Amino acid sequence: MSKQLVKDLQPGEEVKSVFVVTRKEVRKTRVGAPYLALELVDRSGRIEARMWDGVSRYKDAFAEKDYVAVSGRVEKYRDQLQVVVSSLRRCDESEVDAADFLRVVETDRVELEGELRLAAEEVRDPHLRALLLSFLNDHAFMRRFTAAPAAKNYHHPYLGGLLEHTATTVRICRMVSDLYPDVDRDLLVAAATLHDIGKIEELDFDRAIDYTDAGRFLGHLLLSDEMIRDRIAGLPGFPPDLAMRLRHAVLSHHGELEWGSPKRPKTLEAVVLHHIDNLDAKVNSFREVVSRAGAADSPWTDMKNLFKRPLYAPRSMSQEMELDLEEEVPR
């Protein structure tokens, strides 16, 4: 069957397509009748689904993380789209194209990795440089780091997204260091390179992006700190004060306690890293919201997004020219 993407589903549309099940729960209605509550995912997004009939037949026929071929209809419930499933079956991997379910970063990953290596080799402090190279030269670590997404839903939620986000953050930090000479460039570059490494333990990205148990219990800030402390312990003579300032910048990079940081930034490098990390995350999130909105007559998105407000995204001049050319082509 042809693939229908989540982002293209419309109310009243018939659904016959394959998705990944990322959540499966047997619930009961108000009158006590069982039903299946599901979350269906593909590379374009995720959508809630409900199966009201045949629960006893289907509830053990598939599991979370399975590919399932779904037949049903799209409905709107409390202003949210959901699929009312009439039937489904579990699919084998041979029946699907994995590219339909996990997006891949468009930027060349070899170039991004090379950019990180160049930045690390330019670090003059021998302890920080040795720490960075201990990660970058670890093939097992880099295999996971270059494949991982940066998030489940919002910024850089695709394979290679963590590498792209990290490389962009490091790039901006190097630029800011040129503008503000009192910033410790080596410390900032090191913290930017390592600030999200714990996401390789926080996120599972087989078939669909989801949180691991470690991710739910600890989160990537603490996981990143653990990884950094373990590496430092294997580097003789690493200055304790330098280690503390590096760990502080990583642990505080979310900026506020309510945003998940155990501490708020207390050094210049930590403040700079927080704002640059937030800038790149928000810009990419904006792009994600706009791209998922799809083609529309209005340049405004709806309010159901990370920013909780309509976002303005007019077509660029090049897009307008392409549309004009398409209209001029004789049919």
Binned at pLDDT 50, 70 and 90, residue 289 comes out as: confident
The per-residue pLDDT for range 241-282, each reduced to its tens digit, is: 999 999 999 999 999 988 889 999 999 999 999 999 999 999
User: For domain 109-287, which architecture applies?
Assistant: Orthogonal Bundle (1.10)
The per-residue pLDDT for range 18-58, each reduced to its tens digit, is: 999 999 999 999 999 999 999 999 998 899 999 999 999 99
- The larger pLDDT score, comparing residue 321 to residue 53, is at 53
The single residue listed with the structure tokens 């309510």 is 258
- The pLDDT assigned to 288 comes to 84
Strand partners, 300: 312
pLDDT for residue 316 is more than 60: no
pLDDT for residue 330 is more than 80: no
Q: Where, residue-wise, is CATH 2.40.50.140 in the chain?
A: 6-100
Q: Where, residue-wise, is CATH 1.10.3210 in the chain?
A: 109-287
- Fold category of 6-100 in CATH: OB fold (Dihydrolipoamide Acetyltransferase, E2P) (2.40.50)
Structure tokens at 16: 């016959």
**Average per-residue pLDDT in the chain?**
91
